Amino acid sequence: MRRLPPRALLARTLCAAALAPGLASCGLLSDGAKAEGPALSAPAGVTAQAGSATSVHVMWNRPASTAEVEGYEVYRGGKRVKRLTARQHMVDVTGLAPKSRYVFTVRARGTDGSLGPAGPRVTVTTPAAVAEDRAAPTRPTGLRGEADGSRAVSLAWHRATDDRGVASYDIYQGATKIHSVGGKETRALVTGLRPGTAYAFSVRARDVADNTSAASGTLRLTTARGKGEQGPGTAPAEFEASARRAKGAYYLDLAWTPPRTGGEVPAYQVYLDGREATTVMWGEGAPADSATYSFYIDRKPHVTHRVKLRAQLPDGTWGAFSAERTVTTAAKRD
């Protein structure tokens, strides 16, 4: 089975499993910091989507730490381009050059003015500019969807048309834009919602020249009541696992279909025998239609293992687990 491409990064879990030699702790404080309270951590689930030839929509979720957040700062490369309040988790960065590559990061700002660490670097390329265009795309039609557990909804719509092409679709909750997906997408997974809550969603299409369509019809959905469980639509599908022996050791070969979130899924957690074994993280170009991964498990034959995995969602949280598979290492061959 094909391994991950070179751009993929593997980060092994140190705190939940065995600590590396010499590693004393995995706390948020540096050696010189004072333990006066929780330290800010990096914003989670940072994504960037080109909205037009001159704008990029950046989204993120609040940090996992319990430290109080006063606001956020968005950086393009090393330059701060936006300073926002704690209630804002997305922003359109405008005035960009067409057909250009940009790198964005986000940092949380504490109530004392200090900045937490930067979130992951996300890269996006704006599309090429077009000749003067004042015609907006047609409005998206056929908006439909369903609640996916108590924290998410799955939306789908019919493709809009535009004489120069649709660059992105913006999802609105009431009058507020809450999400954005690429112009080739006709569905989105909206996460981070509250259990047992009624929502009203609509979709608008945007072209390369930043012309925005009229809103689709309004879709009203209510999330399920519960304790915040993720729905089945957030889980990787068609998950398969098999064991193989190579050079005296056994490896697990995994294959799955990423959940349809409307964008790239940047990371997966793999659980082996009920415990987190590893986190697989992609750089640019995370697989959209199918994914594979292989990793070492043991040198012993006739050992049975249980394996499952889950995906990181657009808001930085983890989705529902895939089906669990059972594999057994085969006998040694002479």
- DSSP code string of 5-32: PTT-EEE--SSSSPPPTT-----SS-TT
What per-residue confidence (pLDDT) applies to 299?
A: 87
Q: What pLDDT sits at residue 37?
A: 57
pLDDT of residue 214: 96
Of residues 12, 317, 2, the one with CA closest to residue 149: 317
CA-based nearest residue to 296, from 252, 238, 233, 240? 252
Q: How far is CA 33 from CA 28, 37, 41, 108, 212, in A?
A: 9, 10, 14, 18, 48
Which pLDDT score, from 0 to 100, does residue 252 have?
94
Q: What is the pLDDT along the chain (334 residues), one digit of tens a residue?
A: 333 333 333 333 323 333 333 322 222 233 333 445 578 899 887 888 888 889 998 988 888 788 899 999 999 999 999 999 998 888 999 999 999 999 999 999 999 999 999 988 889 999 888 777 889 999 999 999 999 988 889 999 999 999 888 999 999 999 888 888 889 999 998 888 889 999 999 999 999 888 999 999 999 999 998 776 788 889 999 999 999 999 889 999 999 999 988 777 888 999 999 999 998 887 667 788 899 999 999 888 999 999 999 998 877 788 999 999 999 998 766 4
Instruction: Supply the pLDDT for residue 284.
Output: 63
pLDDT at position 79 is: 95
- Say what the pLDDT of residue 107 is: 96
Length of the chain: 334
What pLDDT, on a 0 to 100 scale, did the predictor assign at position 29?
30
Residues 6+ apart with CB under 8 A from 239: 254, 255, 256, 308, 309, 322, 323, 325
pLDDT at residue 253 in the model: 96
* Contact call for residues 169 and 141 (beta carbons, < 8 A): no
Q: Report pLDDT for 48.
A: 87
Rounded to the nearest angstrom, the gap between the alpha carbon of residue 239 and the centroid of all alpha carbons in its chain is: 19
pLDDT at 13: 31
How far apart, in whole angstroms, are the C-alpha atoms of residue 62 and residue 72?
Answer: 9
